[in-house]
Amino acid sequence: MLAIAPPVKPMLAKLESAIPSGEGWRYEPKWDGFRALVFRDGDEVRVDSRNGQPLDRYFPEMLEIAAESFPDRCVLDGEIVVPGRNGLDFDALQQRIHPAASRVKRLTDETPASFIPFDLLAEGDEDLRGRTMDERRTRLVAAITPTARCFPTPQTGDAPTAERWFRDFEGAGLDGIVAKRFDQPYVEGKRVMVKVKHERTADCVVGGYRLNKDKDGIGSLLLGAYDDEGRFHFLGFTSSFKAAERRELLGVFEPMRTGDSFDGFRMPGEPSRWSGGRDASWFPVEQRVVVEVAFDHLQGGWRFRHGTTFRRWRADKEPAECTFDQFEAPKPFRFEDIRELSG
């Protein structure tokens, strides 16, 4: 029996705009994968998502990774990632969550996952959650046998190095920095760490909208941009509006409804395993309104990973000016180079 019984709520981080500096801070890359808590008791390995959902069946290679790299009995907090040719491949990682066992088996061979542990919660009969972060880190590095697909996350106590990582690692698909206090115990479910994520702005054209739950206002505005051939591609959405604004916006966009809008290779409203049965219906509108939004990551070079934050209306900008040229690709940085920094 392990010193900690599942489920365990992961320790969380609060979002800040700048990397903290000063004595006592430790910095790590913010991995862009699936957060996972792994419980190993000999040949038994349990993998939980951050919400306590089982991930074992989707990542059967975790059994081999545990046998190669983990102590015989332990509880680890880390990230499941899929390395690609140019850094992390989040699209491939998402595809691994599939109900068909045959598909899971095929994808395990085609896009094998790696596991990056960044905390050790228990080892043998010891519950380490009450120990300081520095103590747990020392134990983690000593406990893990590094391989090409499992190694402790790199860490530094130097703020300028963390700033450099923040810039360089984006090219490998990582999306920021996590900062931890050296004397912090592991506190389940609390935002006691700090995360700093990349944020940029983009000018996008509103190509449609979804209604809110009560159907009396805008739930989200659907955003797009034009490629070199003039095709209008769906990029994502923004929904950061107050209740009164949502009703007002419906009065603005409802008269602009039209028969079609996006004509790129990705359209809103497509079935998704992540939609949870939610109504994904939407209404196309004339491509007349430009908005500026803030975003953290452009996935695959053509869509926003997460919902964006509305910044302002751009009445001064023509829709045709909203092209993919505004998205500058980060400097390439290989996953293997990050692995070497783990020591």
pLDDT of 343 reads 65
Residues sharing a CB contact under 8 Å with residue 74, sequence separation 6 or more, in sequence order: 2, 39, 40, 120, 122, 123, 124, 143
pLDDT of 76 reads 98
Average per-residue pLDDT in the chain? 92
Comparing 75-79, 162-166, 167-171, 316-320, which segment has the lowest mean pLDDT? 167-171
Instruction: With a cut of 60, say whether residue 121 has pLDDT above it.
Output: yes
pTM of the model: 0.81
pLDDT of 224 reads 96
- In the predicted model, what is the mean pLDDT of residues 6-35? 96
Which domains does the chain carry? Answer: 12-198 (3.30.470.30), 200-326 (2.40.50.140)
Residues 172, 170: Cα–Cα separation, whole Å: 5
Residues 315, 148: Cα–Cα separation, whole Å: 51
pLDDT by residue (tens digit) across 284-335?
999 999 999 999 877 766 788 888 999 999 999 999 999 999 987 777 788 8
**Residue 30 designated active-site:** yes
Residues 9, 14, 30, 215: which is the catalytic one?
30
Instruction: With a cut of 80, say whether residue 144 has pLDDT above it.
Output: yes
Of 307, 304, 301, the residue nearest 329 (C-alpha): 301
